[in-house]
Every structure is written in C-alpha cells, then in structure tokens.
Amino acid sequence: MDDEKRAHLLSFLKVIPPVDFCCVYGSVLHTTNHDKSTMVDYILGVSDPLQWHSEIITRHGWCFLVTEVADKIGVGVHFNPFVTWNNKMFKYGVVRMHDLVQDILNWERLYLSGRLQKPVNMLVDNLDIKDVNSVNLRAAVSAALLLLPPKFTEVCFLAIRPLRITIFVISFVFMQEDLYAKICSLSYMGDLRMFFAEDRNKVKKIVQGQFDLFQSMYKPFLEEYEGKDLLRFSSSENQHANIYQDCGLPVARSHVSFLPPAIRSLMGIRLGRKKVTSESVQALHEVVIGSREEATKRMQKVLRRTVMVSSARQAVSGLLTVGGVKAARYLTNKMQKAWRSWT
C-alpha cells in the first residue's frame, strides 16, 4: 500500500477516540479495485468499548451504547456501517482488546480471528497483535492442510488460465484444490450469510484480488513446513507451485496439535483425549487420533458449528444495535451482491 493511500486511511483515526489496534480489510486491499465510492472497512481494538462509544457519541453521535448487546448476544464486536466523513463512507467494528486476543489464540468464535487469517493492513498495533496473530496463521495453515489432498496448488487454476471449453471441463477446473482458498474458507464454513447474503464467489475473489498478500503472509509457515519435509514444492506450467504434502498419521497429529485449544477440546469430546507429559513435566491432554480422515471430519464439524453459531449471534446483534433502517440497507446490499453472483 502506497504512502498516500495509507495516510488517507489514517486520517479517519484523527476524528475518533484513540485505539490500541486498527486494521483495514476487504476490497480496499484489492489491487484491482479502483472504485473510490467503496465503503472502507475498519476493525478497531480498544481497552474499554463502553467508554470509547460514549466518547464517540459525545463527539459525533455516530452510534449507541451497544457494548452489552455485542458481548452477550453477539461475538464481542459492534459494527457501525454507512458512517460518512470527508465525502467517504466507512464501516468500523469495535472490539475489546482482551476479546480480540482470545479469539485469535483460541478460535472460540472464529470471527475476528477468521478475518485476520486473510490479508489486512494494520495501521495501529500498540500491543503487537501482528506477533500474536502468527499463532492464528499457523493454525490456519494446519487446518487447511488437513482439509487438502496430497497434491494441491497455491492458487486456483481458473484465476490465471481462463478456459473456453466444455461445461464438463470448466466444472472440473473449479474443483481444483488450492491452499489460500482453503485457508480463506475456514471462517465461512457454516456461515449462514453464505446461503443468501454473500457473493457465492467471495472466497475466489478474495484470493485472486489479494494473492500476493496471501503469499507474503503465509510464506514463513510454508517454508517452515518445507524444512521439516512436511511439504514439497514443484513448479508447474502456469508458474504457480504444485504442493505435495505428507498425509501420514504422525503428520496429521502434528497438524491437530497446532489447532487452538478450544477447537482441540471440542474435537476431543468425540475422539477422546489422553494425558501426556510435556518437556516441562506439565500434564497435557492430547486428542486421540485414529486416522487422518477421522480427525479431518471432526475438525470440519467443530469449525462449521463454531462459525454457524457466531454468524447467527452476530446477525441478531447487528440488527438490534445498528437499527432497522441501517440493518435493512446493509442486508439489501449484501443480497444484491449475492444475487448478481448467482445470476
């Protein structure tokens, strides 16, 4: 992101109370997006959302005191869309820093942690969330690898080689497995919005529009896995790497060990757990894994249910906090995009 664009994004922070964390995400990061009317999306992390919202109301009257609703009904983050300032439209979500860190480390809601598995541009990072998020990114790689076959690619073939052949072959190309699409889709598994209020090609568009950013985000982890002989890369005719992975049971157990504690705990309820002693002589509980397929299937169910519950709670919270008019306007925009993607 060039300095001029970054300065423009930072200018919004001058008219709101101080924050400990701020990132922008979504279409503003797409290299192909030149639509200046697009709403800019922010995530704002603060120590005390109630106090922060109170100050916002005093300054601008932009939102209501909604912290309790966001905490008890939603997933701890309140979004305020269609905020207009300086002839630009914004949407910002406010979250308590403690809740942000917990979701990043544990995937208890897989909401903002899912957002941070995709490219974002961090404008403020007072508490080193970028470093904390490395745990989240590693877990996302491990989860994606469990879901992927022995051979896959970095990016969907269709994004770089448009085809004009039969319907059968085009359908086959869509089925090609690729790494970043699988990572991107983790936080959409079970998301109720995907059934009626999201672009059916959302994942593909995110990956295609931000492919270079995905590469730079995940390169250290892929190199680490390659160094451990868990992955092997080879060039292909379309200049994107084919990736081969070890699908043995010991590797599957290693991937599961990198998943967040909340996910492992829910997997262990069905698969069972065993007590082991770590190098620090601390008793730990590992998930019992009989086969890679069994672990993958259970992980999918846990992720799908986690995302489904979070998306439902956040939808209800949003309706109650932003008001009927704004909620209807936002939902209408989403459904129009979804309809266009289907037709």
Here the CATH number for the domain that contains residue 41 is 3.30.460
Residue 151 in domain: yes
Residue 24 in domain: yes
- Could you tell me whether strands 231-234 and 151-153 are parallel, antiparallel, or unpaired per DSSP bridges? unpaired
Contact call for residues 272 and 159 (beta carbons, < 8 A): no
The 10s digit of each residue's pLDDT in 185-200 is 999 998 887 766 567 7
The pLDDT mean for the chain works out to: 82
pTM recorded for the entire structure: 0.84
DSSP-assigned letter for residue 180: H
Same domain, 179 and 302: yes
Same domain, 165 and 289: yes
Sign of CA dihedral 156, 137, 243, 214: positive
Residue 221 in domain: yes
Residue 340 in domain: no
Percent of the chain with pLDDT over 70: 74
Same domain, 191 and 291: yes
CA distances 234 to 114, 199, 245, 291, Å, are 29, 33, 12, 27
**H runs (alpha helix) in 73-201:** 97-106, 112-115, 129-147, 167-174, 179-185
Element (H, E) at 232: strand 231-234
Contact call for residues 320 and 70 (beta carbons, < 8 A): no
pLDDT higher than 90, residue 250: yes
Same domain, 177 and 244: yes
Taking residues 17-42, report their average pLDDT.
Answer: 83
The 10s digit of each residue's pLDDT in 78-119 is 888 888 888 888 989 999 999 999 999 999 999 999 999 999
Domain span including residue 188: 139-270+285-309
Q: How confident is the model at residue 327 (pLDDT cuts 50, 70, 90)?
A: low
Same domain, 117 and 158: no
Taking residues 32-40, report their average pLDDT.
Answer: 69
The count of structural domains within the chain is 2
**Per-residue pLDDT, 182:** 96
Same domain, 180 and 78: no
Same domain, 24 and 77: yes
pLDDT higher than 60, residue 180: yes
Q: What angle do CA 215, 216, 221 make, to 5 degrees?
A: 85
